[in-house]
Structure 1
Amino acid sequence: MKNQEHYNACETLADFLAERESTLHDLPVVMGFDAFVDESIRIVGQRHSPESYQPMPTIADFGAWAAAATGRSGLREFVCEEVTAGGCTVNMGDGIATMGIPLVAFSGVGNPPHSVFHDFMQKCEVVYSLGMDPGRAIVTEFDDGKLMFCAVSHFANVTPNYLREQFADGVFRAACERASGIAFTSWSVYPYMTQCWNFLVEEVFAGMTHRPHFFFDLADPASRTTESLVEMVHSLEGFETVGRATLSVNGNEANQIGRAFGWPEGGQSAETWEQLANRIREEAGISEVSIHLVDSATSATPDELQTVGGPFCVKPKRSVGAGDRFNAGYLAGLLLDLNVADRLRLGCASSGFLVRQGKSASWQELIEFLRRWAIGEIEN
């Protein structure tokens, strides 16, 4: 019975997406503000020849090696497998634009833009760098996850006054007035982003009446203080005065918010994640909170708590940006007024495609993925 319900849900969603493809151009999105040059590396576990090596498989293996070097020293070779465009705005934006949804990005790709962003910029309607240079990320890939080391000190230049100067020409406000969705990403790497969000509500979005979807992503806030996390959560309510706000986080980020407020962590069951999502939503005073995990996703609205199992992939071709593609699918679901479960399915399908194919899915590829997922053809 459960398999039949899954089949029906995925097939119905795929049919609906096929019907709505022609309307995507009417759902423009504005996003900001980060961009990164990502260097994806693998730590060599054992080298067999100059051309062949076995990567260190897990984060635990890396941790054990690093711990064993305490009081001494350690050396490991790493191999840079690729240099790619990164950052949550770029990754999520690539997911949105590849679907065929018009995207205007205000993203620090550099001036002139770094060459690594060429393909992303080609997919967008337009990209404004706002005078910002990209960050740099060393992305260390393992079979069970990734460790990211970022250089972002210049992001401290992004303050309300900085944005006030950059937005003085009215281009950003005009783009937002046309947008069905407005997404802000990577709060964690901008020391003054909470103040910037307050500035946007009070000065930039004041008077807007079409009530777009506002979508928020944090990136891992491990380096931020408890006080800053609490302040960020409470700042989100302001966006409900001009639109409908959704916060999307992964399990690690959700638990960090929970610890900041002294709440029980998620993890033991779907119910614990639903309860945590709803606590965050109520504390923030917003329309929705979504939590995405490696094998499922949860959402809390004022009327509903929902969890959907995802198409888990044991050995992903690419894991960097998987959460961003979930966000792209989820935001697309919001723009199309899908129900909560279907928003989660679309997010999981978008993410599931990325980890298997190493790229964002087109609208037709999402539809095909859902049909294959429905009949059990998506391998774990």
Structure 2
Amino acid sequence: MDFKTRTLAELRAANPSQKLPSKQVLVGFDGFVDTIVSPVARRAGQGDNFTAFRTIEEFGNRILGASGKSTNIELYPTMEKLGGNGPIMANAMLAHELALTYIGALGAPNTHPVFSSITERAKEVFSLCQAGATNALEFTDGKLLLGQTSSLDLITPAHIREVIGEEKYIATIAQSDLVAVLNWVMISHLTEVFIDLVDNVLPKIPRKRVAADGTETERIYFFDLCDPEKRSPSDLAYALDRIGRFAAFGHVTLGLNLKEAQQVFSVLGFGTETESESGLRRMAEKIRHYLGLGTVVIHPKESAACATGEGSYWVPGPFVAEPFISTGAGDHFNAGFATGQLLGLSPEACLGVGVCTSGHYVRTAESPTIANIETLLANWR
């Protein structure tokens, strides 16, 4: 039996249609309005009558050629959508009918219309400030995200309490089976939020979440750093240490794409590792052990690996060479992996649900339902 068959069997046995609507999820704290754009290499006429730069190398060479001169590059908008690690992950989890609360930068004083799929379906929404803005340049070999983030400077422990209220903030976390704290890189005060949670909030709530039927489950804390390249190694090391402190209050999962994993691996003093299955497993194992976390998961474009206290796991992904959309693929993987954790699936099956969630999204630009994931698993060749 291969991992696809095992994942499908586990997923169906977990009875997600009955189990997931009772799961309480809190996601935060960012929010962006994403404009997906195509950088124009050569225009032949109006509208979309142009040839786009296919690769980052082609685009980079045009920019390098302007050194000492100047150049003009047109960015042709193809789509406006909700963006940010938090909103994309939340939107993907709402497709599974989870009871979700969102706290983040969705607009002020009114939420931006681009987030309507969250505001209309979430259990509760607390918007802290104006959303950031991103121009997402997509290429066949990657993407460039050009962001404006100054509005996110308002996201501080004090402002969160001002908007939500102390008692409501604590109660919301206490009621949650999963707390996802995302986009450390772009929220300048998020390390302060980490510290405040560990020092002032989590000690006031039970370690385990008690469901309506009286069953107890360990609360999951899910972290995604976003690309740490622009933050100093010392800042990154300190934030990782603060994330490690959450292990005293539940099961901590750190989600990393390949570049993020390599940066974390390096800042922890491990040097470099290959992108092979064995290399991904070793990176996940060493990072998890060093930080004392429950799970570390690494998701390149073509596969995914994770490490837990029981061992390491790896699965290939349903890779597509020319995706319909790539911005948000990692956040969809995180949503799928975390949903698998909420269902109590094995680490391998969590990886399988993660790669299928991402795989469906990059092909369709739509967040999959559980039925879509089951279909992909059943027909994946």
Measured against the shorter chain, the TM-score band is: over 0.9
Partner residue of 1:31 out of 27, 34, 52: 27
Equivalent position amino acid for 2:267 in 1: A
TM-aligned CA deviation for residue 268 of structure 1? 4.0
TM-aligned CA deviation for residue 168 of structure 1? 3.0
1:28-79 CA distances to partner (integer Å, 9 max, x unpaired)? 1001110001111101122222141121101111011111111111112220
User: Structure 1: which 5+ runs fail to align?
Assistant: none
Matched, 1:320 2:317: no
1:204-224 CA distances to partner (integer Å, 9 max, x unpaired)? 111322241000011111110
| 2:298 alignment counterpart | 291
Q: How does 1:214-225 map to 2 (within 5 A)?
A: 214-225=221-232
Distance in 2 between residues matched to 1:9 and 1:316, nearest whole Å: 26
Checking the alignment, whether the CA contact within 8 Å between 1:325 and 1:351 is kept in structure 2 is yes
Corresponding residue SS for 1:99: coil
Matched, 1:152 2:149: yes
TM-aligned CA deviation for residue 165 of structure 1? 3.3
Corresponding residue SS for 1:205: helix
| 1:92 alignment counterpart | 89
Distance in 2 between residues matched to 1:21 and 1:262, nearest whole Å: 44
Checking the alignment, whether the CA contact within 8 Å between 1:59 and 1:142 is kept in structure 2 is yes
Change (3 A) 1:252 1:299: same
TM-aligned CA deviation for residue 283 of structure 1? 2.0
Corresponding residue SS for 1:266: coil
> Is the deviation greater in 108-117 or in 325-334?
108-117
**What TM-score results when the alignment is normalised by the length of structure 2?**
0.93
Corresponding residue SS for 2:26: strand
TM-aligned CA deviation for residue 302 of structure 1? 1.6
Distance in 2 between residues matched to 1:254 and 1:11, nearest whole Å: 28
Equivalent position amino acid for 1:47 in 2: R
Checking the alignment, whether the CA contact within 8 Å between 2:356 and 2:377 is kept in structure 1 is yes
TM-aligned CA deviation for residue 16 of structure 1? 2.7
Distance in 2 between residues matched to 1:257 and 1:42, nearest whole Å: 31
Corresponding residue SS for 1:64: helix
Corresponding residue SS for 1:42: strand
| 2:126 alignment counterpart | 128
Partner residue of 2:71 out of 55, 69, 74: 74
Matched, 1:20 2:16: yes
Matched, 1:179 2:186: no
Corresponding residue SS for 1:170: helix
Matched, 1:112 2:110: yes
Q: How does 1:253-292 map to 2 (within 5 A)?
A: 253-292=260-299
Corresponding residue SS for 2:323: coil
Matched, 1:213 2:220: yes
TM-aligned CA deviation for residue 163 of structure 1? 3.0
Equivalent position amino acid for 1:291 in 2: I
Equivalent position amino acid for 2:243 in 1: L
Checking the alignment, whether the CA contact within 8 Å between 1:235 and 1:284 is kept in structure 2 is no
Equivalent position amino acid for 1:322 in 2: A
Deviating 4+ runs (over 4 angstroms): none
Corresponding residue SS for 2:309: coil
Checking the alignment, whether the CA contact within 8 Å between 1:10 and 1:371 is kept in structure 2 is no
| 2:215 alignment counterpart | none
Equivalent position amino acid for 2:120 in 1: Q
| 2:214 alignment counterpart | none
> Is the deviation greater in 221-230 or in 113-122?
113-122
| 2:307 alignment counterpart | 300
| 2:43 alignment counterpart | 47
Distance in 2 between residues matched to 1:307 and 1:216, nearest whole Å: 20
Distance in 2 between residues matched to 1:47 and 1:314, nearest whole Å: 25
Corresponding residue SS for 1:326: helix
TM-aligned CA deviation for residue 169 of structure 1? 4.0
Change (3 A) 1:30 1:7: closer
User: Structure 2: which 5+ runs fail to align?
Assistant: 209-217
Checking the alignment, whether the CA contact within 8 Å between 1:208 and 1:242 is kept in structure 2 is no
Checking the alignment, whether the CA contact within 8 Å between 1:14 and 1:371 is kept in structure 2 is no
Corresponding residue SS for 1:206: helix
Distance in 1 between residues matched to 2:110 and 2:195, nearest whole Å: 30
Corresponding residue SS for 1:123: coil
| 2:352 alignment counterpart | 345
TM-aligned CA deviation for residue 336 of structure 1? 1.0
Q: How does 1:361-380 map to 2 (within 5 A)?
A: 361-373=368-380, 376=381
Corresponding residue SS for 1:188: coil
> How many residues align structurally?
369
Distance in 1 between residues matched to 2:279 and 2:359, nearest whole Å: 23
TM-aligned CA deviation for residue 192 of structure 1? 2.0
1:185-218 CA distances to partner (integer Å, 9 max, x unpaired)? 1011112211210101111111322241000011
Distance in 2 between residues matched to 1:197 and 1:163, nearest whole Å: 13
